[in-house]
Amino acid sequence: MSSDKSPVKTICPYCGVGCGIQVMEGDEPGDMRFVPWGDAPVNEGSICIKGGAATEVVDHEDRLTDPLIKEDGEFREATWEEAFDLIVSEMERIREAYGPDGMGFFGSSKTMNEENYLIQKLARRYGTNQVDNCTRMCHASTVWALRTSLGMGAMTNSMADLREAADVFWIQGANPGEQHPIANSQYFRQAVLEGATVVQVDPHANKTTRSFDIEETDRHMHLQLTPGTDIPLLNVVLKTILENHEEHPEEGWLDEAFIEDRTEGFEHLKETLADFDREAAAEECGVPLSDIERAAETYAMADNAAIFTGMGMSQHACGVDNVQNEINLALITGNVGRPGTGVNPLRGQNNVQGTCDVGAMPNVLPGYQLVDDDEARESVEDVWGFEVPDEPGLTNVEISHAIGDSVFGLYVMGENPIMSEPDGNATERRFREDLEFLCVQDIFLTETAELADVVLPATTWAERDGTVTNTDRRVQRMRGVHKVHENTRHDLDILCEVGTRLFGEGFDFDGPEDVFEELREVCPIMHGMTYDRLGEEGIHWPCYEPGDEGDQYLYEDAFETENGLGNIEGVVHQEPEETPDEEYPLVLTTARLEEHYNTGTMSRRSPTLSRQHPENFVDVHPNDAERYGIEDGDYVKLKSRRGEITVRADVTEDIKEGVVWTTPHFAAASANRLTNDVLDERAKIPEYKAAAAEIEVGVEPADDAAGDD
């Protein structure tokens, strides 16, 4: 924690790009402003609208300043002593009544590695593996596919090596122009200006599309597919490559040596595609076959081609298979294991990568060591001094589904599941009616905190120290300025206090660096890092030993699978669980906006960010608008089988006919009142990206159009 008033170097609290920024404190508590950090390692001083406005929420009038306890349905201010007493007695009561799996714990990718390390340790000391975080909502399927097929659940490459070496960027189901703006402007767009080509695969024409509309280049193609048809589209690409290689083996469509030496499963892929009909599949995708063929050739003929994958791929009930098909494409063309290649998820929140890395997931301990791997678990138990359950716990959506059946208490740090989980109306009902105890620690009274029995006021990103891990595995230090509100506490200190009161020992740490020292002891991929070594540049994991510099790209010689081979596996098309019918004839898909962030807890309170999009809206194609009689700007009711929201219609050709598109940022009008909570069988990620929907016209704007309940 800085003790003077010089600018403090830290990391933007919003997206996973991990841009460095500086915070300058004024004379009064809470008087602070953003200052550029010119030689920040990731962004070199550039910043998007969110990073520049991040300090606006630190001294917001809605900040929680004292603990709250609910009595007779109303909150009253409480002392920390009262709050801790209530938490300890309720957690002990629930364990006594229902066993340790009667509680669930939610870590947060808005908080730091040290804090997430502590909440997963707290859950496991309590006796349960039921700890999870919002990666379940964004990239659980990506992490699953990458970990099982290549070995590590993270970007194979780093932004810097990609910018320097990639000739082709294949961006599927991601909108970096809106959601990772500095990655888009500083890395992808810059590379295109220098000669690279972008293939964008997305149902929506968006800021990414427009950012590559560069005069005198045609090095951008947009395959605007129907939502939920990513597997058939990639199968057309794969079969095009296989057939061309058969006809013209001298052209190098496939990398036969790479397939032979470094992979297994190629025969399975060929069998899967043997009777695959490319023409029919292209029609199902709604994309001309010739366009897909051209994209396939562009990727296959590149010296170095890199795939970027986003939530348009991962947030499906077939999310693991979607990403597996991207892995198939990279492996058969030998595009893994060197600069400018790989399969690279663009991670959402600024520490969603780190939250997974440090073990805040129900199936893995720090460093992705499986809880049911006896040797790995015992090595962690040796350091912790207690036994860890050897069965994976429920994921966060499963925990939510189990409320009232097997889960009766929840400890939520910095997440807002009422808004972030699918089928939000049902989620809210379960939280409201069936939960016996809910503890929330946060900076604002979120929609979830409103339902809590006890609310703990935490400090913001700008007020504390710790580390976060960005989308390309770079672990970076965050540094805090002085606390704005005296009676708030750091998440880390709160967890230490709860742990010590519950268990007596194991949670007595002298600040974040002390926690980091224990983390690196149990987390092999971070073992070589120290706060001193991280400095201002950070280090990419894996960094196994103190001398290691960290790896810019993975798998140069072998994959981190059991036999060292990359796994190719053919996959077949699976329709979304809900497809259009007479009652709900439209496909609803969802995504985020540049100016807002996830559940909007911070961005809706930022004057700069909420100015451009003060309320939710739905994109409707002009032909659909004409059919329904909708004029641009009309308010409509958007309905699914799970709920309805009132939103303004934006009539635009950005979206395909028959598809509607809206956002999750605004509470009463959130897309998640409508989304489907069906899960991918393995990764348990919900199908946010495709649901059946209907529009009702002739409605008035809702009183709470801004989204604040």
Residues making contact with ligand SF4 (CB under 6 A): 12, 14-15, 17-19, 43, 47-48, 50-51, 180-182
Strand 586-590 vs strand 659-662: parallel, antiparallel, or unpaired?
parallel
- Non-local (6+) Cβ contacts of 632 within 8 A are 625, 649, 650, 651
Measured from the CB atom, the residue of 54 and 678 that comes closer to ligand SF4 is 54
- Closest C-alpha among 263, 256, 255 to residue 300: 255
Measured from the CB atom, the residue of 45 and 701 that comes closer to ligand SF4 is 45
Nearest approach, Cβ of residue 355 and ligand SF4 (Å): 16
End-to-end CA distance of the chain: 36
Q: Which residue is nearest to ligand SF4, using beta carbons?
A: 51
The token duo for 176 is 């970096």
Measured from the CB atom, the residue of 181 and 359 that comes closer to ligand SF4 is 181
Measured from the CB atom, the residue of 39 and 632 that comes closer to ligand SF4 is 39
Nearest approach, Cβ of residue 609 and ligand SF4 (Å): 10
Measured from the CB atom, the residue of 83 and 182 that comes closer to ligand SF4 is 182
Measured from the CB atom, the residue of 595 and 694 that comes closer to ligand SF4 is 595
CB 21 within 8 A of CB 34: yes
Nearest approach, Cβ of residue 15 and ligand SF4 (Å): 3
The token duo for 446 is 């979120």
Measured from the CB atom, the residue of 18 and 538 that comes closer to ligand SF4 is 18
Nearest approach, Cβ of residue 460 and ligand SF4 (Å): 15
Instruction: Give the alpha-carbon dihedral of 675, 133, 100, 514, to 10 degrees.
Output: -170
Measured from the CB atom, the residue of 12 and 318 that comes closer to ligand SF4 is 12
Nearest approach, Cβ of residue 694 and ligand SF4 (Å): 34
Instruction: Give the alpha-carbon dihedral of 23, 483, 419, 395, to 10 degrees.
Output: 100
Instruction: Give the alpha-carbon dihedral of 80, 82, 84, 85, to 10 degrees.
Output: 160
- Non-local (6+) Cβ contacts of 218 within 8 A are none
Nearest approach, Cβ of residue 51 and ligand SF4 (Å): 3
Nearest approach, Cβ of residue 575 and ligand SF4 (Å): 34
Nearest approach, Cβ of residue 12 and ligand SF4 (Å): 3
- Non-local (6+) Cβ contacts of 249 within 8 A are none
DSSP track, 257-316: HHHHHHEE-HHHHHHHHTT--HHHHHHHHTS-HHHHHHHHHHHHH-SSEEEEE-HHHHSS
Using alpha carbons, list the distances in angstroms from residue 630 to 151, 396, 433, 641. Answer: 50, 38, 38, 22
Nearest approach, Cβ of residue 180 and ligand SF4 (Å): 6
∠ CA 277-278-284, rounded to 5° = 95
3-state secondary structure (DSSP) of residue 575 = coil
Measured from the CB atom, the residue of 475 and 693 that comes closer to ligand SF4 is 475
